[in-house]
Amino acid sequence: MLEIGAGGRTWLLSGPTSSYALHVTEGGELLHLHWGPRIALADAEALAALPAPRYRPFESPLDGREEYPVEGGPRFVRPALSVRTEERRGTEWVFEGHESDDTSTSGTTDSTDSTDGIDDELRLRFTDAGLAITLHYRMRGDVLERWVTLANGGPAPVELLRADSATWTLPERDGWRLSQLHGRWAAESRLVRSGLTYGEKVIGSRRGHTGHQHLPWVALEADATEERGEVYGCALAWSGSWRIAVAQLPDARVQITGGAGYDDSGLLRLAAGEAFTTPVFAGLWSDGGFGGASRAWHAYQRAYVIPDADRDRPVLYNSWEATEFHISEEQQTALARRAAAIGVELFVVDDGWFGARTSDRAGLGDWRPSHDRFPSGLKPLADHVHALGMQFGIWVEPEMVNPDSDLYRAHPDWVQYQPGRKRTEFRNQLVLNLAREDVQEYLWEQLDALLSSAPIDYVKWDFNRCFTDAGWPGEPYPQRLWVDHVRALYALLDRLRAAHPAVAFESCSGGGGRVDLGVMSRTDEVWTSDNTDPLDRLATQHGFSQIHPARVMAAWVTDSPNTQLNGRVSSLRFRFVSSMAGVLGVGGDLAQWTEEELAEARDWVDLYKEIRPIVQRGDLYRLRPPDGGPSAIQYVLGDESVVLAWLQAQHYGEPVPPLRLRGLDPAATYACGETGEVHRGAVLLHHGLRTGLHGDLDATVIRLRRIPGI
């Protein structure tokens, strides 16, 4: 809901539990008023009427109070907007008026107005010497989406050195703490919490993709627990380089500024008539602790971000860990038969099916099936997979090229490179310059032809190296390729989805190197990590769940001992229950699994299919974090609930304490699907459920269903 104060200078956006308010003063300063629990318009106006801070010569009257600090004038905080023309640097903007979808008013309106459409969008328009700056606000649930458009209406070019999507201002509290998700390849999404001190904490990526090092998300709170307390969260919808800076200012206020690009050295140059729309930087306030904040993020993504989120994701099989590049039609056909027999619904051929791709040294860029490995193309295998009752998927990495490829031999200038400098190879590959229209067109033609050549239902879209030599010889403003690469990627995905609406897409970047709200609005699930060790995954999944829902979190059961990382031995039970917390997949070498293992796998897949709607669409409660002892999560959907619990190691023979459940009706009674026992809701909530976990690397699944009428 959007409410507008008398005079059209105070705006209040409200979701079910939260509000956000801002105000333009008579002097034209855009001030932040409120972000937190739901308030009335009169409260926002009372905040707007508070006196300005006392004048002090060494303090800025604006710092810490402004909604979107621009560079220039009496400001010393990090600017969200930094622009330069031939004549000057900085912005001195003038407020022009506001618009909303249901009402369109100028800044001189003096009526009180209110709209409550679901997608009410507020736009505040400013101008500075021909540069039109519009701040956009859209409330979706309790998530506020913010972004900015910049349009050059003047005759001269304007350089955007920095154009952040939003600055978020938090209220004054003692002891702010920051939560972030850090990592590296095969160790993504690890949650850390630490106290903020004065100054700035900056996270981001200068790699050209979202990166394994940080998810573009932060949470701030002063005293929250898993289920109680205020939590502020911010997440950026961008899949290229990015930056989020969290600043504790001298008066202890906190501001969070974020947007595309890492450095301030130039994002884009807008010629006369050109415009740039920043990515969305979404913010959420919750008073339900970390768990409540996660559930609100998940609900938002299922409702507004993830395509077809109400359609459950199938169980997939992928042979990458089992076979790597050594694939053939015959071998994949044999694996497909075994996969179908254990209940798999989607069979995916990973890397190695195309061009001269028998190792990572050749073939990227040549998106035609290898004659040696697939003599009649992909169609016979796809048909066979369909005949087995499964969908068929393939792996691609369209943004890359191996120097040893037909594409590179024909177009060595299609890659990012600096003239006269070496072309840095990672994994023997170079990055295509997707900002070039000819490259965009080539990829569209190749991928469209590929998806038309065989009945392909699923595309795993990979990205296996960072930008290094991001040059573009001959282009007057080459650094634009950092932004334009992402825009071209999004456009290509959008075009392919429109032309092939039945095809689902997975975002992968050497595991979880491209997980963000931007790519998630165009893909159906994400590859969480190349680390498929079931114990490490519990921590990765715990971090991932802070922001993203199980509905997109792909998780495979692979071989034991673990072949990729650590040789850890674990039971099928432990591996399956770990992966059943997300979108279940199987990635082990099924050709080596015994009949007993295959039969057990079939039972686990059957069980997953039963609990899948609750896992993929339910509310998540993290009952105990994976910190060495027992850990557990619970999903609740309507009258059904499922608990997944793990025990890493039992010490001193101590029994595992009962798990206090959440999200149930204390007055209801629940039947346990495993034991048939009947439990009272109040007892489960206040005294807990016994899991029977014992020993090392144990795991269990417990289903609960409300008994009607009692």
Give 56: exposed, middle or buried? Use CB within 10 Å, 0-12, 13-18, 19+.
Answer: exposed
Q: How many other C-beta atoms can be found within 10 angstroms of the C-beta atom of residue 381? A: 25
Binding ligand DGJ by CB under 6 A: which of 317, 527, 574, 635? 527
Q: Min. distance of Cβ 331 from ligand DGJ in angstroms?
A: 16
Q: Output 289 or 510, the one with its CB closest to ligand DGJ.
A: 510
Q: Min. distance of Cβ 363 from ligand DGJ in angstroms?
A: 11
Q: Judged by CB under 6 A, does residue 350 bind ligand DGJ?
A: yes
Q: Output 329 or 350, the one with its CB closest to ligand DGJ.
A: 350
Q: Min. distance of Cβ 527 from ligand DGJ in angstroms?
A: 5
The footprint of ligand DGJ on this chain (CB under 6 A) covers a number of residues equal to: 11
Output the CA angle 351-542-467, nearest 5 degrees.
45
Report d(CA 315, CA 361) in Å as an integer. 31
Q: Judged by CB under 6 A, does residue 484 bind ligand DGJ?
A: no
Per-residue x/- marks for ligand DGJ, 442-461, CB under 6 A? --------------------
Residue 530 falls in the annotated catalytic set:
yes
Q: Judged by CB under 6 A, does residue 320 bind ligand DGJ?
A: yes
By DSSP bridging, strand 400-401 and strand 430-431 are antiparallel
Residue 343 near residue 605 (C-beta atoms within 8 A):
yes
Amino acid at 325: F
Q: Output 351 or 640, the one with its CB closest to ligand DGJ.
A: 351
Dmax over Cα atoms in the chain, in whole Å?
80
Binding ligand DGJ by CB under 6 A: which of 189, 248, 464, 691? 464
Report d(CA 260, CA 205) in Å as an integer. 10
With CB under 6 A as the contact rule, which of the stretches 12-20, 87-95, 121-129, 504-512 interacts with ligand DGJ? Answer: 504-512
Helix 595-617 / helix 572-579 crossing angle, nearest 10 deg: 20
Question: In the bound complex, which residue of the shown chain has the CB atom lying closest to ligand DGJ?
Answer: 351
Residue 113 falls in the annotated catalytic set:
no
Binding ligand DGJ by CB under 6 A: which of 510, 534, 618, 626? 510
Name residues contacting ligand DGJ, limited to 382-401 (CB under 6 A).
395
Contacts of 229 (CB under 8 A, 6+ apart): 221, 222, 223, 287, 289
Q: Judged by CB under 6 A, does residue 365 bind ligand DGJ?
A: no
Q: Min. distance of Cβ 508 from ligand DGJ in angstroms?
A: 5
Report d(CA 207, CA 426) in Å as an integer. 13
Q: Judged by CB under 6 A, does residue 369 bind ligand DGJ?
A: no
* Residue from 13, 11, 587, 554 nearest 284 by CA: 13
Q: Min. distance of Cβ 189 from ligand DGJ in angstroms?
A: 14
Residue 645 near residue 658 (C-beta atoms within 8 A):
no
Amino acid at 27: G
Q: Residue 272 has which token pair?
A: 């006369």
Q: What is the b/e burial string over 432-459, where b = at least 16 CB atoms within 10 angstroms of the residue's CB? A: bbbbbeebbebbbebbeebbeebebbbb
Which residue do the tokens 């559930």 mark?
Answer: 295
Q: Min. distance of Cβ 416 from ligand DGJ in angstroms?
A: 20
Q: Output 395 or 635, the one with its CB closest to ligand DGJ.
A: 395
Q: Judged by CB under 6 A, does residue 508 bind ligand DGJ?
A: yes
Q: Residue 219 has which token pair?
A: 């949470």
Q: Min. distance of Cβ 350 from ligand DGJ in angstroms?
A: 5
Q: Min. distance of Cβ 185 from ligand DGJ in angstroms?
A: 9
Would you list the DSSP string of 120-180?
-EEEEEEEETTEEEEEEEEEETTEEEEEEEEEE-SSS-EEEEEE-SEEEEEPP-SS-EEEE
With CB under 6 A as the contact rule, which of the stretches 29-37, 49-57, 74-82, 507-515 interacts with ligand DGJ? Answer: 507-515
Q: Min. distance of Cβ 28 from ligand DGJ in angstroms?
A: 50
Q: Output 300 or 320, the one with its CB closest to ligand DGJ.
A: 320
Contacts of 387 (CB under 8 A, 6+ apart): none
Residue 280 near residue 165 (C-beta atoms within 8 A):
yes
Among 128, 142, 164, 462, the active-site one is 462
Among 530, 533, 536, 619, the active-site one is 530
Report d(CA 473, CA 219) in Å as an integer. 41
Q: Output 140 or 460, the one with its CB closest to ligand DGJ.
A: 460
Q: Judged by CB under 6 A, does residue 511 bind ligand DGJ?
A: yes
Q: Judged by CB under 6 A, does residue 351 bind ligand DGJ?
A: yes
Binding ligand DGJ by CB under 6 A: which of 230, 530, 536, 698? 530
Q: Judged by CB under 6 A, does residue 536 bind ligand DGJ?
A: no
Catalytic machinery residues: 462, 530
- In the complex, which residues of this chain contact ligand DGJ (CB under 6 A)? 320, 350-351, 395, 462, 464, 508, 510-511, 527, 530
